[in-house]
Amino acid sequence: MRPILLSGHERSLNQIKYNREGDLLFSVSKDNVVCAWFSHNGERLGTYEGHNGTVWSVDVDATSTLLVTGSADNTLRLWDVASGQKLFEWEFPTAVKRVAWSEDSTQILAVTEARMGYRGALRTFTINRDPASLTSQSKEPSRTITFSGPKATVAAWGSCDEYIVTGHEDGKVALYYHDTKEPETGIDAELEEQSLAVHEGVITDMQMSSDRSFVITSGKDKTAKIVSLKPLQIMKYYTTETPLNSAAIHPTKPYVIVGGGQEAMNVTTTSARQGRFEARFWHIVFEEEVARIPGHFGPLNTIAIHPTGKGYASGGEDGYVRMYWFDESFFRSKVYGPELDLAEEDL
Amino acid sequence: EDLAEESNLALQNKELYLRALDEWKAWRAKTKADLAEQREALGKEPLPSLAEQIKAEPTQEIQ
């Protein structure tokens, strides 16, 4: 399995995302640039330029028409995927740390940082998808959830956009009911439907299963966990020996991929091997590590799995995206034997 | 005796693994049924697999 090395960024990667068909991969980095890549050969399709700060988060809609990005320049931007043109911009008092499209691609959410007296908040916006007037969007959020307690670091939409799930700096995962017609604005404590202490420390990533019925979270506490949403409950634990920055669920094989690594400043004080900059494959049910793929020269900051499960990509602190297509043997292999194999329909 | 013990341990382990697999399958069957119910209540079509969705859509080739 040879990687395709995507070297278009000058600084560390923050997030990578495949589009729904998996023919494109989007990446955002500390170098302020948003890149789009062809996934079959790693050729760069283009860039989306204009952000004046680290771009923290990216998401593409289900039709690969519109792209949304959140940045440390305190803006949330809407882009035309094909032309690279900026369509709209929302400005906030603090950085935008996480963005996500709703399942039906009619709404977006944005999580903003808590800083300089401003509380962290999650805002949702209804997107005008009329091709004739994409540049005219409502400046006002359809709802705002202000975090009175620990700020949210990640967030995502649940199945049918009925719930919003947030992951927090203290390791909490919370569930908010989301009524598209009458979205409620307020303080998190009043709106939160259910919450659960999932990690001991910052939640670094949260990715949905393909049917959006459960999530995988990763944390600085060196663990990744599968959490069911209704009700909120930890189903599986994956305990590693390194702080984790990202975790993703394979859609067709019984694996999750997790990645992270000690930050560079801590590595030098121990040994280079301690960095552990590998993507780790864990069996989703048996909670055992089955493989490691090295390659990055620094911590893995973000992992994305191709929507059909044919490959995966990782973005590192080293500024590179490594994209892999699985060999045929990956799909044929039954690591635990045929009797303990899990069929695609049971995932 | 050692072989018998080893085989016994392997059998016990296998039972644990099989139980974990059964629990997972039961949980997923329930979440999938709940999801189908939720979609029906909202008047949405049952969720096809991603592969089915992509197969059903026309592909556009860009030169």
> How is chain A split into domains, by residue range?
240-347
Contacts of B29 in chain A (CB under 8 A): 346
Cα–Cα distance, A182 to A114 (Å, whole number): 26
Q: How confident is the model at residue A62 (pLDDT cuts 50, 70, 90)?
A: very high
Contact A308 B14 (CB under 8 A): no
Q: Cβ distance A321 to A31 under 8 Å?
A: no
ipTM (interface predicted TM)? 0.90
Interacting residues of B63 by C-beta distance below 8 A, sequence separation 6+: none
Q: Cβ distance A250 to A257 under 8 Å?
A: yes
Give, in degrees to the nearest 5, the angle at Cα A103 between A102 and A104: 90
Cross-strand pairs, A192: A176
Tally A–B CB contacts below 8 A.
53
Helices (H), A127-280: 188-191, 264-267
Quick one: average pLDDT of B11-40?
92
Cα–Cα distance, A304 to A292 (Å, whole number): 16
Contact B34 A213 (CB under 8 A): yes
Q: Cβ distance A77 to A56 under 8 Å?
A: no
Cα–Cα distance, A115 to A301 (Å, whole number): 23
The pTM of the full predicted model, rounded to 2 decimals, is 0.93
B13 interface with A at CB cutoff 8 Å: no
Cα–Cα distance, A207 to B46 (Å, whole number): 22
Q: How confident is the model at residue B60 (pLDDT cuts 50, 70, 90)?
A: low
Q: How confident is the model at residue A274 (pLDDT cuts 50, 70, 90)?
A: low
Q: How confident is the model at residue B13 (pLDDT cuts 50, 70, 90)?
A: confident
Q: Please say whether the dihedral angle defined by the alpha carbons of residues A313, A74, A197 and A210, taken in this order, is positive or negative.
A: negative
Please give the full DSSP string across A24-84, using - where no structure is assigned. Answer: EEEEEETTS-EEEEETTT--EEEEE---SS-EEEEEE-TTSSEEEEEETTSEEEEEETTT-
* Fold annotation for A240-347: Methylamine Dehydrogenase; Chain H (2.130.10)
Which 3 state secondary structure label does DSSP give A175? Answer: strand
Selecting from A160, A230, A347 the residue whose C-beta is nearest the C-beta of B39 gives: A160
Contact A214 B31 (CB under 8 A): yes
Dihedral class, residue A117 (left if φ above 0, else alpha if ψ from -120 to 50, else beta): left
Quick one: average pLDDT of A9-24?
94
* Tens digits of residue pLDDT in A132-169: 999 999 999 999 999 998 999 999 999 999 999 999 99
Cα–Cα distance, A67 to B37 (Å, whole number): 31
* Binding-site residues on chain A for chain B (CB distance < 8 A): 20-21, 159-160, 162, 210-211, 213-214, 228, 230, 235, 251, 284-286, 307-308, 336, 339-340, 342, 346-347
Cα–Cα distance, A216 to A247 (Å, whole number): 6
* pLDDT at B21 exceeding the cut of 70: yes
Contacts of A307 in chain B (CB under 8 A): 50
* Tens digits of residue pLDDT in A228-254: 998 999 999 999 999 999 999 999 999
Residue in chain B closest to A341 (alpha carbons) equals: B21
Contact A340 B18 (CB under 8 A): yes
Q: Please say whether the dihedral angle defined by the alpha carbons of residues A16, A104, A191 and A186, taken in this order, is positive or negative.
A: positive
Q: Cβ distance A29 to A71 under 8 Å?
A: no
